[in-house]
A and B are shown apart, each in its own frame.
Chain A
Amino acid sequence: MRHRRVSVLICAAVSAVVMTACGSGGSGQSADGKTELTIATFNEFGYEELFKEYEAAHPDIKITQRKTGQGQPHHQNLFTKLGAGSGLADIEGVEEGYLSQVMAKSGQFNDLNEIGPKIEDGRWLDWKTQAITTKDGKLIGYGTDIGPLAMCYRKDLFEQAGLPSDPEGVKTLFATWDSYFAAGDQFIAKVPGVAWFDSAAQVYNAMHNQLETGYYDTSDKLVVDTNPDIKKNWDTVAAAVSKGQSARLVAFSPEWNTGFKLGKFATKTCPSWMLGVVESQAGAENAGKWAVTDAFPNGGGNWGGSYLTVPKQSKNAQKAAELAAWLTQPEQQIKAFKAKGTFPSQVKALDAPELLEQTNAYFGDVKAGELFATQAKKIKAAQYKGPADGQIQETVFSPALQSIEQGKNAEEAWTAAVDGAKKAAK
């Protein structure tokens, strides 16, 4: 008789293991009767101190942060759980690069105009809010930070090439893309072995995002092969590559880092957060060589920045929206800026003295805060992003541009890119 009992026990144990794997999350009420709000973020949002402040002001709220080190796994988790229908936090951070995919599933997020508190007009830069407003006018996220673009350049190499090198003087070189590439021709003729920019895709993406219409038109029709501006940008960048203006480095790869160390390129498209990247990659041995100026060809641009969204899965959507609205107030975002350097997207925060006084020692004590605030205000409108927009940029156009840098014919690469975009949009 004894052995039978044991086997039953084993079975029970096994089924217990299997069952717990299917257990679901909590109800949003913690044991002490407080409302528990979860917020999922990635990298550094700089909100840790703010949570304590909010909990102190709202004794009935308990905030739990789920922090992911990197953006990629965070968003993978977001999309998987949107698909599964449960498991998301009450507030989910969304990065600008994944925005098109989120907008394609906007039905699964709450309209914050509807459930959120009343928010004063003009809290955010127009283009920031525009990008997360659906076609039928729903606002599915509150803006947190942005990444306004400026131009970083190597002062010493500019001098070597006989180009102006002071922040005011270089502005004429960076006035338009034509003047930018023309200066590139001049530069590579004078300084052998050094390229004008790091990577074709890095330049192309900035050019592309300035277009009025991108890969999609507003009716979600793919216009890659019918929008003449896209081909024009492509040809311009391809021509620059063929002349040797590109250092042919893949951004964020180990070789790209080496390129910074060895000073293999003279300019870099620079969102606000890139200054830290340049400093850590170029290192102390290149101190005093890099500079940044408040000019960017054809105006301005943005790369990066995030939003806070409230998925419909949330059981405390209204309270979550209140918290998100509070976190994205200019006063709060300035505190996050001071904590972790996230550049605020709120109009009032851009004029805050804390921001305007910020300087960057590596870039010759430049007033970085003021400089990027100026750049942020130059951005006119957000380009409409279709459902597969991010995917087309990351997995189709960027690799296709790299293939030109690897020696592929520009026309063939274009055909491959168009086909790839159609496949991605399918």
Chain B
Amino acid sequence: MTATLPEVEDRGRANTARPRPPRRHRLSNLDAKVSPYLFVAPFFVLFGAIGLFPLLYTAYVSLFDWEVGDDEPAFIGLENFRTLVADDQFWNALFNTFSIFLLSSAPQVVVAVVIAALLNANLRARTGWRMGVLLPYVASLVALTIIFGNLFGPQYGLVNDVLGLVGIEPIDWQASTFGSHVAIASMVNWRWTGYNALIILAAMQAIPRDVYEAAVVDGASALRQFFSITLPMLKPTLIFVIVTSTIGGLQIFTEPKLFEPAGGSGGGTEHQYQTVVLYLYQSAFQGLDLGYASAIAWVLFLIVIAVAGLNFLITRRAVR
């Protein structure tokens, strides 16, 4: 089909020989063509150096049996990935990661929407409340984790003392898988709920007032307004919040790392709360097995993309 295109569409470029433009024109042509690339180059150079290159190099390293200090690492193809698939500790870490992610992100988004709705109401000292919910986010993550680690201490922790007051048996937050996940998820929620609430609040305030006014005229209750107007119009923001908390949640590291009382990277005596990134860290910097750690990193990368994409689709469909 392309061969039969009429001559006119070519705008006469192909057949007529063009005279060489004078030198000055050529320079300005070059300027027009090259300068834009130079303008965008800083981003791409930086991204290439500190974003793309490590990503690709990690993929390259993952094909080797590469120990720290090896002079000539042996190429083993996909062997690391094969080991990984058969590695119970990896699947356990993946389970822990998802468990902690669900225990943190799911309640977090719901609570954040509720808090945002409350903050959006006519409150006294509104700015004070809004700044208040952001405070946990400002606090140092490490300090926060250490304090929570103390609160959830199995023997002398405050949480168990309080549970004892209401007659609940003390829980060994270090030994129990579910208990440790709850403890870690509570750190994540403490830190991120307020932050997400503020983002959602900003989106809420962008919803035009006249839509609500029309709903009031039609006799819609406050609850009805919330579900039929507020939530649907928050959709783009909710997608953003859910996707970012997915990415953050699946890469969780600091909380489980510092929750370990003696500062190891095993994530509990039997890896009860070892997450994928913590396992990656342990493989790379304790086992000194860079090839294997790189394989974990890549698998995690793919999982994060897949789950974030899935969440994107679900959120887009669910909140119409």
The distance in angstroms between the C-alpha atoms of A248 and B156, with both chains bound, is 12
**CB–CB A11/B270 < 8 A:** no
Q: Which residues of B contact A259 (CB under 8 A)?
A: 155-156
Instruction: Give the residue of A79, A251, A395 whose beta carbon is less than 8 angstroms from that of B266.
Output: A395
**CB–CB B263/A83 < 8 A:** no
- Whose C-beta in chain B lies nearest to the C-beta of A15? B45
Is residue B265 contacting chain A, with contact meaning CB distance below 8 A? yes
- Whose C-beta in chain A lies nearest to the C-beta of B35? A4
The distance in angstroms between the C-alpha atoms of A215 and B250, with both chains bound, is 36
Please give me the 7 A-B residue pairs with the lowest Cβ-Cβ distance, nearest first.
Answer: A253-B261, A406-B175, A7-B38, A403-B269, A83-B69, A83-B68, A250-B261
Is residue B132 contacting chain A, with contact meaning CB distance below 8 A? no
Instruction: Give the residue of A4, A8, A105, A252 whose beta carbon is less than 8 angstroms from that of B69.
Output: A105
Q: Which residues of B contact A262 (CB under 8 A)?
A: 156
Interface centre among A1, A83, A407 (most CB of B within 10 A): A83
B40-60 near A? 1/0 per residue, CB < 8 Å:
011001100100000000000
The distance in angstroms between the C-alpha atoms of A82 and B67, with both chains bound, is 11
Instruction: Give the residue of B35, B41, B70, B264 whose beta carbon is less than 8 angstroms from that of A395.
Output: B264
A248 and B38 in contact (CB under 8 A), knowing A14-B46, A254-B150? no
The distance in angstroms between the C-alpha atoms of A253 and B174, with both chains bound, is 12
Return B258 CB to nearest CB of chain A, in Å: 11
Q: Which residues of B contact A408 (CB under 8 A)?
A: 269-270
**CB–CB A11/B41 < 8 A:** yes
B residues 249-276 near A (Cβ < 8 Å) are: 261-266, 268-270
Q: Which residues of A contact B269 (CB under 8 A)?
A: 399-400, 402-403, 406, 408
Q: Which residues of A contact B39 (CB under 8 A)?
A: 7
**CB–CB B265/A11 < 8 A:** no
Return A414 CB to nearest CB of chain B, in Å: 13
A11 and B153 in contact (CB under 8 A), knowing A250-B262, A254-B261, A403-B269? no
Q: Which residues of A contact B35 (CB under 8 A)?
A: 3-4, 7
A255 and B261 in contact (CB under 8 A), knowing A402-B269, A408-B270? yes
The distance in angstroms between the C-alpha atoms of A252 and B260, with both chains bound, is 11
Is residue B164 contacting chain A, with contact meaning CB distance below 8 A? no
A393-407 near B? 1/0 per residue, CB < 8 Å:
011001110110011
The distance in angstroms between the C-alpha atoms of A258 and B46, with both chains bound, is 49
Is residue A115 contacting chain B, with contact meaning CB distance below 8 A? no
Return B173 CB to nearest CB of chain A, in Å: 11
10 A-B pairs (CB sep. < 8 Å):
A14-B41, A14-B46, A79-B288, A254-B146, A259-B155, A391-B286, A395-B264, A403-B269, A407-B175, A424-B287
Q: Which residues of A contact B172 (CB under 8 A)?
A: 406-407
Residues of B within 8 A of A (CB): 31, 35, 38-39, 41-42, 45-46, 49, 67-70, 146, 149-150, 153-157, 172, 174-175, 261-266, 268-270, 282, 285-288
- Whose C-beta in chain A lies nearest to the C-beta of B288? A79
A255 and B154 in contact (CB under 8 A), knowing A4-B35, A7-B35, A108-B69? yes
The distance in angstroms between the C-alpha atoms of A248 and B39, with both chains bound, is 62
**CB–CB A79/B69 < 8 A:** yes
The distance in angstroms between the C-alpha atoms of A253 and B38, with both chains bound, is 54
A18 and B49 in contact (CB under 8 A), knowing A10-B42, A402-B269? yes
Q: Which residues of A contact B270 (CB under 8 A)?
A: 399, 403, 408, 416
Q: Which residues of A contact B266 (CB under 8 A)?
A: 395, 399
**CB–CB A399/B174 < 8 A:** no
Q: Which residues of A contact B49 (CB under 8 A)?
A: 18
Instruction: Give the residue of A15, A254, A391 whose beta carbon is less than 8 angstroms from that of B153.
Output: A254
A7-40 near B? 1/0 per residue, CB < 8 Å:
1101100110010000000000000000000000
Q: Which residues of B contact A399 (CB under 8 A)?
A: 264, 266, 268-270
Q: Which residues of B contact A258 (CB under 8 A)?
A: 153, 155-156
Q: Which residues of B contact A3 (CB under 8 A)?
A: 35
Interface centre among B67, B68, B263 (most CB of A within 10 A): B68
A82 and B68 in contact (CB under 8 A), knowing A248-B155, A402-B269? yes
**CB–CB A7/B41 < 8 A:** yes
Beyond A254-B149, A255-B261, list 4 extra A-B contacts (CB 8 Å).
Answer: A7-B39, A76-B285, A254-B261, A408-B269
**CB–CB A255/B264 < 8 A:** no
Is residue A236 contacting chain B, with contact meaning CB distance below 8 A? no
- Whose C-beta in chain A lies nearest to the C-beta of B40? A7
Is residue A80 contacting chain B, with contact meaning CB distance below 8 A? yes
A residues 379-399 near B (Cβ < 8 Å) are: 391, 394-395, 398-399
**CB–CB B38/A8 < 8 A:** yes
